[in-house]
């Protein structure tokens, strides 16, 4: 790899670190979303190929013009065990779009057990929700029904593909066939 590659990758890193591309396994199953810089390096090194690209905005260097990838496919199959989303405070917030499920506010957030721990409620995807402190205090040691509170959505276990969408911010149209979204 020459000076041209180093110049491009440094420029990409500074300029397009926020731009996201979809990475597919060799069999076209989605693996993750990565930065344009990382994806371009995989293509440039011959480890991946460009499946979709933005033809209106090529990557231009002083010596060559390159396709700007939006979706790449790895040339070798990478075995990955089934990916499940780990249960964590941050992932509960992410699932609930960083909003209280009772009032919709985005401030002063905490976690709430739908079935309180004092009544046998567990730490699980289907029993934890994002809640603001005032709503949590109002609910107290009751179920939402007993407290007269309505949830905007029922708690559920999210799948990995949903989190790809949340991490990337938005789903590009060319990604939808690979993410099983219509």
Query: What are the sequence ranges of the domains in the chain?
Result: 3-81+160-179, 89-147
**Whether the Cβ atoms of residue 178 and residue 30 lie closer than 8 Å to each other:** yes
**Please, what is the angle between helix 3-15 and helix 36-44, to 10°?**
160
**99 compared with 180, residue with greater pLDDT:** 99
Q: pLDDT tier at 10 (50, 70, 90 boundaries)? A: low
Q: How confident is the model at residue 62 (pLDDT cuts 50, 70, 90)?
A: confident
Q: Which residue has the higher pLDDT, 159 or 29?
A: 29
Taking the C-alpha atoms of residue 11 and residue 45, their distance in angstroms, rounded to an integer, is: 17
Q: Which fold has domain 89-147?
A: DNA Binding (I), subunit A (1.10.30)
Would you call 133 exposed, middle or buried from its count of C-beta atoms within 10 A (0-12, 13-18, 19+)?
middle
Query: What pLDDT is recorded for position 111?
Result: 95
Q: What is the pLDDT of residues 31-56, one digit of tens each?
A: 888 888 899 899 989 999 999 988 88
Residue 182 pLDDT: 46
Sign of CA dihedral 92, 95, 101, 104: positive
CB contact at 8 A, 72 and 37: no
pLDDT band, residue 137 (cuts 50/70/90): very high
Going by pLDDT thresholds of 50, 70 and 90, the confidence category of residue 11 is low
pLDDT per position as a tens digit, 147-164: 999 999 999 988 776 776
């Amino acid at each position: 790899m020459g000076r041209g590659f180093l110049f491009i990758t440094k420029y990409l890193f500074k300029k397009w670190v926020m731009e996201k591309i979809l990475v597919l396994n060799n069999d076209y199953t989605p693996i993750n979303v990565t930065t344009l810089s990382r994806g371009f390096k995989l293509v440039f090194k011959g480890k991946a190929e460009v499946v979709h690209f933005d033809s209106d905005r090529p990557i231009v260097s002083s010596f060559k013009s390159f396709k700007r990838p939006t979706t790449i496919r790895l040339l070798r199959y990478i075995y990955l065990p089934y990916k499940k989303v780990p249960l964590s405070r941050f992932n509960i917030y992410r699932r609930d779009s960083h909003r209280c499920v009772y009032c919709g506010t985005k401030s002063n957030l905490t976690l709430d057990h739908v079935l309180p721990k004092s009544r046998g409620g567990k730490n699980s995807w289907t029993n934890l929700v994002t809640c603001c402190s005032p709503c949590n205090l109002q609910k107290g040691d009751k179920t939402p029904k007993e407290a007269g509170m309505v949830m905007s959505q029922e708690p559920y276990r999210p799948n990995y593909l949903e989190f790809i969408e949340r991490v990337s911010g938005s789903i590009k149209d060319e990604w939808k066939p690979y993410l099983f979204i219509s």
